[in-house]
């Protein structure tokens, strides 16, 4: 109710408030633009910005007559936008940082990944996403980074409201909430031998075996209401390919005043948190290749 009090009591929280205000302003601009298009019939047909099959979210929501009006209310749109921005920045950034740590901290992984990345010709350009996605060891490294990052470590309650579920010998009544932490799946030694070891080779499998293994790669849940970063076409998947691929290809990095304590989970705060004051990863650039 009084966000300025929280910003005053915890100054660093002021950045979050500024971020939320900026998102609200962008949502209002999108709503106002759509209203102008709707009410000014004399305006020319407006092309909705898109790349490939992906289209801008809010112009499509506001223009779609099948979307209920309650889902087009400004407060609802603001809340959805803030949640979307938080979910697609905070957790993926953490997964990116933790994965980079493990790459640099494991010389065998680092050397093999570097060798694969340098097979892309023309070192003076940034490769495209499609070029990066064709590199099997880079993709395996990202999968392993997502596994050890865990991302969403809290319990996520789920229920089947209209049907009885059977799990092994148990019948779960309709509407019963069931929850677990994906953290323990991703570190189950029966699924991932030596689960605390950063070992991308565990993902270099035949297509059938990989499909079976990927069933257990759920750093942020699964299914239709799973986290937006889990699909191959997601922003997080894209970001990890582009950022990690470009950094490792362009620079020779070395950890600086950073150890495994900086990525060791100590607290569940929806996403995993390190010990106090340890949630940072520092590297030195020893060499730039181009």
Bridge partner list, 50: 55
Mean pLDDT of the 281-286 span: 94
**What pLDDT does 213 receive?**
92
Distance CA 242, CA 139 (A): 11
Answer whether 92's CB lies under 8 Å from 235's CB: yes
Q: How confident is the model at residue 58 (pLDDT cuts 50, 70, 90)?
A: confident
User: By C-alpha distance, which of 148, 159, 145 is closest to 183?
Assistant: 148
Is the pLDDT score of 54 beyond 60?
no
Distance CA 202, CA 107 (A): 17
Here the tokens at position 225 are 């209401």
Kindly tell me the burial class for residue 159, based on how many C-beta atoms sit within 10 Å of its own C-beta (0-12, 13-18, 19 or more).
middle
Bridge partner list, 283: 255
Which one has a higher pLDDT value, 279 or 161? 161
**What pLDDT does 50 receive?**
46
User: By C-alpha distance, which of 121, 100, 119, 103 is closest to 111?
Assistant: 103
Mean pLDDT of the 156-185 span: 91
Give the length of the chain.
290
Distance CA 129, CA 149 (A): 22
Is the pLDDT score of 229 beyond 80?
no
């Amino acid at each position: 109710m009084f966000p300025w009090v929280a910003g005053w009591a915890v100054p660093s929280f002021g950045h979050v408030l500024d971020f939320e205000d900026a998102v609200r302003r962008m949502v209002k601009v999108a709503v106002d633009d759509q209203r102008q298009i709707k009410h000014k019939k004399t305006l020319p047909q407006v092309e909705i910005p898109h790349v490939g099959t992906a289209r801008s979210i809010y112009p499509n929501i506001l223009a779609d007559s099948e979307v209920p009006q309650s889902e087009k209310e400004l407060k609802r749109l603001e809340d959805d936008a803030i949640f979307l921005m938080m979910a697609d920045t905070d957790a993926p950034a953490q997964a990116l940082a933790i994965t980079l740590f493990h790459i640099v901290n494991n010389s065998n992984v680092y050397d093999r990944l570097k060798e694969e990345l340098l097979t892309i010709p023309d070192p003076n350009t940034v490769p495209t996403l499609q070029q990066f996605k064709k590199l099997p060891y880079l993709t395996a490294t990202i999968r392993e980074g997502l596994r050890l990052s865990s991302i969403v470590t809290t319990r996520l309650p789920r229920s089947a409201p209209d049907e009885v579920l059977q799990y092994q010998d148990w019948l779960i009544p309709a509407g019963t909430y069931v929850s677990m932490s994906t953290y323990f799946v991703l570190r189950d030694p029966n699924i991932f031998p030596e689960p605390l070891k950063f070992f991308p080779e565990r993902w270099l499998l035949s297509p059938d075996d990989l499909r079976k293994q990927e069933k257990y790669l759920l750093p942020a849940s699964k299914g239709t209401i799973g986290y937006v970063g889990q699909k191959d076409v997601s922003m997080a998947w894209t970001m990890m390919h582009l950022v990690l691929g470009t950094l490792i290809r362009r620079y020779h990095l070395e950890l600086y005043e950073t150890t495994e304590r900086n990525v060791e989970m100590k607290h569940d705060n929806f996403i995993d948190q390190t010990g106090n004051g340890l949630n940072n990863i520092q590297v030195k650039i020893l060499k730039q290749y181009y």
